[in-house]
Amino acid sequence: MKIKSVDFVGSFTKNKDCPNVDIPEYAFIGRSNVGKSSLINYLCDRKKIAKVSNTPGKTQLINFFNINDSWHLVDLPGYGYAQVAKSERKAWEKMIKTYLSDREYLMCTFVLLDSRIPLQKIDLEFINWMGENGIPFVIIYTKIDGIKRRFRGKTIRNLQNSLLEYWSELPDQFVTTSTEREGREEVLDFIALNNKKYEQ
């Protein structure tokens, strides 16, 4: 898939206020500071579509982007640590889960895992929640460039084995790195294939 246009649609705090347009949506979410903004910029081949920050919790709203006038990329707030009050984190959690549970045009959610560290409890809890609620998702391993090449395969297998302690099989998975330009075409091809299914 070639990205020809990327247009910011808006930021929303409630699912009912999000665009009600009959085109596929693909959401991106992960633990705070997992590299989501860098990945979105890499996929869109733009430098500043999503704001990149070293401060966890930078994304605080549901951000919609119109891609090629044919599908929506949805940037969701990160779950986990953020320098905000506990009540505000609870509000984010409710906002995220309501969006994921109720969106009519949500085709798939990309759940990002930091490949440099072992599977975190909060990641497992979120992935299990997705499965328990029947919400389609795939996994993207980020920041693989932070691991020496000879260790990358083993690192990914360790993460997979941790997940397989709770899952009989895993969804589709992708490994990405913007610095080494890997994984972009695979993710975009996955979206293109699902868009074709949606159109049928």
* pLDDT tens figures, 109-149: 999 999 999 999 999 999 999 999 999 999 999 999 999 99
Residue 101's SS3 state is: helix
The two structure tokens encoding residue 51: 């704001």
Q: Give the percent of the chain with pLDDT over 90.
A: 74
Whole-angstrom Cα distance, residue 200 to residue 198?
Answer: 6
Q: What is the pLDDT of residues 143-175, one digit of tens each?
A: 999 999 999 999 999 999 999 999 999 999 999
Find out whether 81 and 55 touch, Cβ atoms under 8 Å: no
pTM for the model: 0.92
Determine the pLDDT at residue 99. 94
Mean per-residue pLDDT over the chain, rounded: 90
Q: Among 95, 3, 90, which Cα is nearest to 42's?
A: 3
pLDDT tier, 53 (very low <50, low <70, confident <90, very high otherwise):
very low
Find the mean pLDDT for residues 66-71.
96
Determine the pLDDT at residue 83. 60
pLDDT tier, 197 (very low <50, low <70, confident <90, very high otherwise):
confident
- Tell me which of 195 and 57 has the higher pLDDT: 195
pLDDT tier, 33 (very low <50, low <70, confident <90, very high otherwise):
confident
> Edge to edge, what strands does the sheet with 6-12 contain?
6-12, 62-67, 71-75, 25-30, 106-114, 137-142, 173-175
pLDDT tier, 55 (very low <50, low <70, confident <90, very high otherwise):
very low
Q: Is the pLDDT of residue 56 over 60?
A: no
For the chain, what is the radius of gyration of the CA atoms?
A: 16
Whole-angstrom Cα distance, residue 78 to residue 120?
Answer: 14
- Domain extent listing, the chain: 6-199
Alpha helix segments (H runs only) across the chain: 36-44, 86-102, 121-132, 149-164, 184-199
Find the mean pLDDT for residues 46-56.
62
Q: How many CB atoms lie within 10 A of CB 70?
A: 16
Determine the pLDDT at residue 6. 94
At the fourth CATH level, the homologous superfamily of domain 6-199 is: P-loop containing nucleotide triphosphate hydrolases (3.40.50.300)
